[in-house]
Amino acid sequence: MKGVILATGLGQYLVPLSTCLPHPSAFVPERPLIDYAIEAFMNAGFEEIGIVLGYNEGILRPYLQDSARYGIAIYCLHNPWHMRGSATSLFAARPFVEGEPFVVAMADRLLPAHLLFPLLVSPWHAHVMCVNRRNKTGARWQGTVKVWLDKHGKVQRIGKRLKHWHAVDTGVFLFQSRIFHHLSYLLRRWEEPCSVIQLAQHLIASGDELWACDVSNSFLLDNADNWNHFRYVQQMLSIRLAQEELIA
């Protein structure tokens, strides 16, 4: 199975840091965000990763082409439609995944390798999204993508404006190859930008099952999806690095 990392975003929530740099190249605290996602795939046993590039591609591509530093084969995938939303980045990865199921992660997530393991060892035949079911309340979680599940763990509703929810999105998905049928339909129909979350909403509405994989017990730092979260992640990683130095 192949991995796909979406690194096309404008990073508008990190302005002015992202004015000249794509947000996956922002340093947290001393390494680019995208390094953490790549290492998670490598440590989970993936041998090939396709990284979809868009905004300011010229900055990330030279950095990523030296894949020897990671010990994994990295392929840079160009998305000429990145301004039309993150769902187009999945479509840009279609030739790379070659009709097989694939795991997707956002480049601004700081995820551990063992978060990916359940997607690899379970006999999933449906689309899957990794969720964190720990209670998330308070202003800090405003703007986070929230998920409502049925009693069996199937996703019923998803969105940032849900008033009641069971879990929050982690930005990690397992998609079956039929996802491209849905993508083709949406991109032909919609003229406005289409996000991965809107794609998930379409899956639910169409009856193509989207299941939740609970990764609440995995060590997962918050995604850097706004400036406050980004600063929080910087602080947490700085503490983690200091602890590792003391143990060493």
Q: What pLDDT does residue 141 have?
A: 58
Average pLDDT over residues 3-25: 60
Q: What is the rounded distance in angstroms from the CA atom of residue 93 to the CA atom of residue 4?
A: 7
Tokens standing for residue 96: 């790379």
Q: What pLDDT does residue 10 have?
A: 53
Q: Give the helix/strand (H/E) hosting 102.
A: strand 102-106
Rounded to two decimals, what is the model's pTM? 0.82
- Contact between 153 and 211 (Cβ < 8 Å): yes
- Contact between 79 and 54 (Cβ < 8 Å): yes
Tens of pLDDT, residue by residue over 136-172, are: 554 455 668 899 999 999 999 999 889 889 998 988 9
User: How much of the chain exceeds pLDDT 70, in percent?
Assistant: 75
Residue 228 has pLDDT above 70, yes or no: no
Q: What pLDDT does residue 59 have?
A: 80
Tens of pLDDT, residue by residue over 94-112, are: 999 999 999 999 887 777 8
Residue written as token pair 């940032």: 160
Q: What is the rounded distance in angstroms from the CA atom of residue 240 to the CA atom of residue 235?
A: 9
- Contact between 8 and 55 (Cβ < 8 Å): yes
Q: What pLDDT does residue 244 have?
A: 46
Band (16; pLDDT cuts 50, 70, 90): very low
Tens of pLDDT, residue by residue over 52-94, are: 998 778 888 888 887 778 889 999 999 998 888 889 999 999 9
Sequence-separated (6 or more) residues with CB below 8 Å from residue 58: none
Average pLDDT over residues 175-186: 94
Residue 23 has pLDDT above 90, yes or no: no
Poorest-confidence range of 30-39, 166-175, 194-203?
Answer: 30-39
The rounded mean pLDDT for the chain is 80
Average pLDDT over residues 26-42: 76
| H helices present in the chain, as ranges | 33-43, 57-64, 87-92, 94-97, 117-121, 179-189, 196-206, 227-247
* Tally of CB atoms within 10 A around 25: 21
Q: What is the rounded distance in angstroms from the CA atom of residue 81 to the CA atom of residue 190?
A: 13
Q: What is the rounded distance in angstroms from the CA atom of residue 200 to the CA atom of residue 182?
A: 10
Find, among 157, 134, 141, 151, the residue nearest to 226 by Cα.
141
More confident residue, 241 or 168: 168
Find, among 164, 163, 146, the residue nearest to 212 by Cα.
146
Distance from the first to the final alpha carbon of the chain: 35
Find, among 132, 108, 88, 137, the residue nearest to 40 by Cα.
108
Q: What is the dihedral of CA 199, 73, 123, 175, to 10 degrees?
A: 10
Average pLDDT over residues 19-32: 55
